[in-house]
Structure 1
Amino acid sequence: MAPLKIAIPNKGRLSDSCLQLLRAIGLPVAGVGRTLVSVVAGGAVEILFSRADDIPEFIDLGAADIGLTGSDLVDEAAADVETLLALDFGLCKLVVAVPEHSLMKKIEDVPDAAVVATAFPQLTRRYFEAHGKKLTVVAVSGATEITPYIGVADLITDLAETGSTLRKNHLTPIATICDVRAVLIGNRRKCAEKEKEVHEIVAAMASVIAAKEKRYLMANVPKQALDEVRRLLPGISGPTVMNLAGGDGMVAIHSVVAERAINGLMPPLKKLGATGILVLPIERMVL
């Protein structure tokens, strides 16, 4: 069986998170930045380092079986690929932004004669055409924010996470074209041919994502407080309860809880008589 080929960005905003995810599923990648291909899992998997923009096309052509890239780049390329999993990083928006003192306050205010600069010409063109606008689209590969101030464009479309870069460049968003996130995509034919291998990767990544915001809580609690503990710790299907050897009326409870809820659970658990409270990270969780 030929190795499963996974394409990941060789640099940029998604690269580090992709490498962390691969390490989390047991595919540590060595030689990053010094090689175009890394062989892992005893030769069963090849990691291909590519420009994030090229990955949708590489997957479409079958040069790689599956790959990690941005949903914006998949949509821009209009690639015939299958989205296998939405990931939990690379979250941002593709927005329409205008100079802060512009008279354009909403899409309806944008005149047909306007010029828009963008690194996403296809997405931008489709968006404005869907709103009945026929703008001149100027494709740029970087520094999009400066184009209104050097007379290249009247407005821009660009990725925005917090909006701070837009504000620094005196730009104001007036509309969102689409939400963006990292995705795992696959070649339809190759995914069918390597269904078992692809499914293992998808399931492993999904289990890591599911576990990220959860914690494993353990404590010893009085038996008479179990009903109240169950109300505090619903878990996935309720807390697991185990008898303690020589427990003197105490039982052990184990539960998966949201990380954000941990601090709020400590005082009521202590009030109920809980002791030996432990909170542990979870590497993977299969629901």
Structure 2
Amino acid sequence: MAENSRRAVVTGASSGIGEATVRVLRAHGWQVVGVARREDRLKALADETGASSFVADLTKQADVDALASYLAETGGVSTLINNAGGAAGLDTVEAGDPDDWRWMYEINVIAVKRVITALLPLLRDSVRGAETGTAVADILTVTSIAGHIAYEKGGGYNAAKFAIAAALDVLRLELSGEPIRVLEIAPGMVHTEEFSLNRLKGDQAAADAVYANVPNPLTGDDVAETIVSMVELAPHISLDYVVIKPVAQSAAYKVHRGPLTAKG
């Protein structure tokens, strides 16, 4: 496999969309650094794909600083894929646990801000001196349709994802004039092994019920393929905001269960 000259960092790489994105990027010849807290899963992914790995808790500034130093010492980075995030609880605003809300804000907003701040100098270095239109750096963040459409019992997650979506819009304005794309992909229903299970605090039956009888919810691979297509577009093209949902999902709060059939 010929190595792509571009190097991507993928956070939340130990499972789900992040893990799938590492695989797809490697299949396309990219140099990739997978980042997550779970060393054993990162090592297995690195052994399988040839990606590099870096163990970090992105809610800790020291870990983020160490990641930036590692990247600077080992070749820099041209593409940042912020995938680490998560949901906790499925309660009303009234009944929601403030600790769940605090954690969701830390991982979905503050951690993303930490990583962007730490890696922006390296992203700039990757395109410094390039002729206009010949090179681009990317900051692609995986948000959620929950960051654009509110739904009942999603208050804490909605709040965090709305916040990071707004921050990305601001960042895009602030980076105007630089060859850096600020990209957002907002998935709907994606059936991964851990997202709903973690959100529902280990209740496997409740997690399974989320996807029960839904025809073809998205997979991590579906989102990963779309992410890679976004960052592989020509340098002058920016897909600022992409929503990806299964056909069975009309909105965050409206999902069809059962076969899809034409009417009439």
Of Structure 1 and Structure 2, the greater strand share is in 1
Is the radius of gyration larger for structure 1 or structure 2? Answer: 1
Does TM, normalized by the shorter one, top 0.5?
A: no
Of Structure 1 and Structure 2, the greater helix share is in 2
TM-score (normalised: structure 1): 0.27
